[in-house]
Amino acid sequence: MALNLFDLSKIRDKVKKLTGRVGEGAITDAELDLYINRYYQLVFPLELRPLELNTWFEATLTAGTDTYTLASLSFDDSYLTFDKPLTINGESMLLFLNPEEFYSLYPETQTYDNGQPEAVLLYDNELVFRKPPDSTYISFKASALARPEALVNDGDIPIREEWGALISYGASIELLEDNAEMEAMQVITPMYDRHKRNIMGKVHKQFINQRSNPTF
């Protein structure tokens, strides 16, 4: 049976050592888990964007409707962000994040016939399509970043066990910062940066290898 090098219980132990919270009653597991999962689920994915968290967000639009809240399309807490590439029934679309740029090309005062949307604005938790889709173009798909599931039980491990050390350091920094222990935080930050560089280097190598695969 494989040995778990970095399950939740081991991550907790490392955070306790890094933050000086060793000993009975120094900190509860519930408090530790809050910091561990806050880092693992929110900070880690956005800072490193590991390929293991890449996924697709898919939604079915309504013909004739050009504006949707993300919630109405079931973009829920299982996703963190979405980005290019985007498609509508397999056709590529432009993504705008700036309303001024979008509406300079697609004015709000103009009437648009239903058809094939060529662009979408993502702003203030809403999507605005131009053109409004017709009944043919209602299948929307976008590259997305998934939120990893929380570590709950002692034996739970991150998606990749090698992330455990970085999660330990990241959670420790969050905890120390919240308690204004800046000197202690500065001591462990170089190690956090080292582990982060190692993982980002692997992510970069994976990305290069994917890009270099032949398409024939």
**Per-residue model confidence (pLDDT) at position 200:** 85
CA dihedral over 155, 161, 163, 164, signed as positive or negative: positive
Domain parsing of the chain, residue ranges: 8-50+160-210, 53-146
Write out pLDDT tens, residues 165-213. Answer: 999 999 999 999 999 999 999 999 999 999 999 888 876 666 555 544 4
Q: What is the pLDDT of residue 216?
A: 31
Mean pLDDT for 3-21 is: 92
Q: pLDDT tens digits, residue range 19-57?
A: 999 988 899 999 999 999 999 999 999 999 999 999 999
Query: What is the residue-averaged pLDDT of the chain?
Result: 91
What is the predicted pLDDT for the residue at 54?
Answer: 92
pLDDT at position 83? 87
From residue 119, alpha-carbon distances to 64, 71, 102, 132, 156 in Å are 15, 20, 8, 10, 41
DSSP 90-103: TEE-EEE--HHHHH
Query: What's the confidence (pLDDT) of residue 74?
Result: 94
Q: So what's the pLDDT on residue 202? A: 72
Distance in angstroms (rounded) separating the CA atoms of residues 90 and 21: 53
pLDDT tens by residue, 54-102: 999 999 999 999 999 999 999 999 999 888 899 999 999 999 999 999 9
Count how many Cα atoms sit within 13 Å of the Cα of residue 97 in the half-sphere of its side chain.
Answer: 4
The pLDDT tens digits of the residues spanning 115-163 come to: 999 999 999 999 999 999 999 999 999 999 999 999 999 999 999 999 9
E strands present in the chain: 54-60, 67-69, 79-88, 91-92, 94-96, 119-123, 126-130, 139-146
